[in-house]
Amino acid sequence: MTTKEVEYLVCKSYRCKVCSTTGQTYGYIKGDDFDMESFDPCEKCGSTNISFLLSVPNIDRFDERFPYFDRGLGMMLHSKKHRRQVCKERNLVPVDGDIDFSDEINKVKQKHKEEDKIVSDLNDRVANHPGYAEYRKKKAQGWKPKFTHRDQGEVPGMKKIDPFNEE
């Protein structure tokens, strides 16, 4: 059984991949696919290397220019009143403008501030606290502390592993 594919003539907006010209081109859709060879080449340079642009009008949501296609609602909106109506019908709350995240950001900033304070307090203690006097004195004399792992003891039946020289 063979199905005769239906052809539609369509007009598409395009951008030329060679010279970036944009314009309109006519061609056929066969079945579900564009018949690319049937479309007019770039009107400026004649290249057939073109890509189609989405012909969605004015989706500049926050400029409030009507009508526009609202991607969230999936329909054309004609005015603010229209949008309010649609939202009301669908039990939606329209959000105007950018969502304000400054609360969250301030919380994170505050946390960073607190952590910085802990580090600077610690540094301050090492530099000034009497408990670190010996440490400071040794450091001043050129002492470079060597940090080693505490001996974890031996586990019977297990080979002792040097954590710095694992085999």
Q: Which stretch binds Zn ion (CB under 5 A): 37-45, 55-63, 64-72, 147-155?
A: 37-45
Counting residues that bind Zn ion (by CB under 5 A) gives 8
Q: What angle do CA 54, 60, 63 make, to 5 degrees?
A: 165
Q: Which stretch binds Zn ion (CB under 5 A): 2-10, 38-46, 72-80, 87-95?
A: 38-46
What strands, in cross-sheet order, belong to the sheet with 22-30?
33-35, 22-30, 7-16, 50-52
Q: For Zn ion, which is the closer residue by CB, 38 or 48?
A: 48
Instruction: Rule CB under 5 A: choose which of 12, 27, 39, 42 binds Zn ion.
Output: 42
| 27 and 40 Cβ atoms separated by less than 8 Å | yes
Q: CB of 23: closest distance to Zn ion in angstroms?
A: 9
Instruction: Rule CB under 5 A: choose which of 5, 7, 11, 19 binds Zn ion.
Output: 19
For residue 16, state whether it binds Zn ion (rule: CB under 5 A): yes
Residues 44-73 as x/- pattern, contact with Zn ion by CB under 5 A: xx-x--------------------------
Task: Name the site residues for Zn ion (rule: CB under 5 A).
Answer: 16, 18-19, 21, 42, 44-45, 47
